Structure 1
């Protein structure tokens, strides 16, 4: 119960204004207590809100809803949301293997994000709060938005601009976002070459079924985040860092909604496939 402000308000109000002062102090104290309660529990409310410390399940729920709401906002950034963009969002939901109830919640959040008065800054602050500022979760959130924007194979200038706003709101620099955009563009091409985690892979039984092109090898390096002239030590260090940041079990343990674990698995497999291709083609051990 929050009553500290009321007590102080009544005390000082009585001292300086008698009964009337006490009433004014009580009112001001009440406003103070409510403001402090909202600061401590930003998603609380008089009904259906959090009481006490938000549970892991509640935080995961907020993260889940924010992911699709912001995705809808990015889709809307170009103007009218096209049928293709809706289908791409639905494809992401399918890749997550959401049940009907989860799909309905994701669709509702996506529609909320398309509203003209969507409070983007407030939602991004909420994401930072529910993730406790954990870099890997914030990075995953940003990568989902980048992946969704790139799902049609191109990035509109307005989408790029809103992604920069999102990155800044999550605490990432413009340079960090641009690196993620380059890595995602390479990942898209890598997937189109048959090496994506959720496609019928060309990599089977520990062997590539067809010789990769020079461009596919270049994309693998860029997907890992290193230059083509990187030595085996540099490649391995980048690979291990990415795998540590994208390990599905670690992400869920830190607050990633279980519903989004499939996407985390896909990303980890994508990184693994790129690393395996580089190792084979460059003869790294």
Structure 2
């Protein structure tokens, strides 16, 4: 995460407006004067010293932990199991170093107390990545993964997840398939391949090959996300392969 060193070192300003920019500014100890705040709130961009890829990486990182904070607080309090799931996400899934974990924790804490809603963070994220549907789905997958980490998704969390699905323009059927990866509603292997159990062998093969191409870690890395998030792409890539092997064995393909 090249952008993180620049931010922590205080050598740049922020080029992000809206709730994501506000949380980032508070988390990293940077302030805006009123003129800059008004400019950014109208969608303006200030020179920051960040490349366009670094700005996208920063948006993804801050949005992810801001939305996770709002999810954790959805039922009125943040439980130990929720904190543990966030820590696991940071260390095992993202392999964040000390600076990365500290930054994620700061963002999480700032977002917990932010007056902005979950929807406000989700909407700003969507506006940045709306032309990259795989990144949108990737974020939805992250939200489900952490929400279900304690073995269940609460009713309050489900409300926010459904809201994210609407904001991200994810169709209801696709939403249910993502959910099925973490909550037993349909055969998980078929859900991973985005097919139902009535699909033909050829339809399954076609979907498998398409997903393998789209979720290859090198393909995700080329999207400009922080390198730590490519670990999730690796998990997803393996999940797709395992689902295909399971269905092949089941059907004798």
The DSSP-based 3-state class of the residue aligned with 2:48 is: coil
State which of 226, 233, 256 in structure 1 corresponds to 2:225. Answer: 256
1:120 deviates by: 3.0
State which of 37, 40, 43 in structure 2 corresponds to 1:39. Answer: 43
Q: Once the two structures are superposed, what CA deviation does each residue of 1:216-238 show, in whole Å capped at 9, x if it has no partner? A: xx432233232334321111122
Q: Does 1:272 align with 2:241?
A: yes
- 2:63 alignment partner in structure 1: 66
The DSSP-based 3-state class of the residue aligned with 1:78 is: coil
State which of 80, 84, 93 in structure 1 corresponds to 2:90. Answer: 93
Whether contact under 8 Å (1:63, 1:130) holds in the other structure is: no
| Stretches of structure 2 lacking an aligned partner (at least 5 in a row) | 1-34
1:252 deviates by: 1.9
Structure with greater contact order relative to length (CA < 8 Å, sep ≥ 6): 2
Whether contact under 8 Å (1:248, 1:265) holds in the other structure is: yes
- 1:243 alignment partner in structure 2: 212
Whether contact under 8 Å (1:221, 1:274) holds in the other structure is: yes
Q: Return the alpha-carbon distance in structure 1 between the equivalents of residues 111 and 83 of structure 2.
A: 12
Q: Once the two structures are superposed, what CA deviation does each residue of 1:190-227 show, in whole Å capped at 9, x if it has no partner? A: xxxxxxxxxxxxxxxxxxxxxxxxx9xx4322332323
1:81 deviates by: 0.7
Q: Return the alpha-carbon distance in structure 1 between the equivalents of residues 250 and 177 of structure 2.
A: 24
RMSD: 2.6
The DSSP-based 3-state class of the residue aligned with 1:91 is: helix
- 2:177 alignment partner in structure 1: 179
1:54 deviates by: 4.9
TM-score (norm 1): 0.68
State which of 70, 75, 80 in structure 2 corresponds to 1:78. Answer: 75
Whether contact under 8 Å (1:131, 1:255) holds in the other structure is: no
| Stretches of structure 1 lacking an aligned partner (at least 5 in a row) | 1-30, 190-214
Map residues 1-285 of structure 1 onto 2, 5 A cutoff: 35=39, 38-41=42-45, 44=46, 50=48, 54-95=51-92, 96-115=94-113, 117-131=115-129, 133-186=131-184, 218-284=187-253
Size of the aligned set, in residue pairs, is 216
Q: Return the alpha-carbon distance in structure 2 between the equivalents of residues 167 and 227 of structure 1.
A: 20
Q: Return the alpha-carbon distance in structure 2 between the equivalents of residues 37 and 132 of structure 1.
A: 19
Q: Once the two structures are superposed, what CA deviation does each residue of 1:41-87 show, in whole Å capped at 9, x if it has no partner? A: 2xx4xxxx636x85211220221111111111111111111001100
Whether contact under 8 Å (2:192, 2:243) holds in the other structure is: yes
Distance verdict in 2 for CA 1:40–1:240, change over 3 Å: farther
Whether contact under 8 Å (1:65, 1:105) holds in the other structure is: no
Q: Return the alpha-carbon distance in structure 2 between the equivalents of residues 170 and 266 of structure 1.
A: 22
Distance verdict in 2 for CA 1:113–1:177, change over 3 Å: farther
- 1:195 alignment partner in structure 2: none
Whether contact under 8 Å (1:72, 1:114) holds in the other structure is: yes
TM-score (norm 2): 0.76
Whether contact under 8 Å (2:71, 2:157) holds in the other structure is: yes
Distance verdict in 2 for CA 1:112–1:245, change over 3 Å: farther
Q: Return the alpha-carbon distance in structure 2 between the equivalents of residues 226 and 63 of structure 1.
A: 28
The structure with the largest alpha-carbon Rg is 1
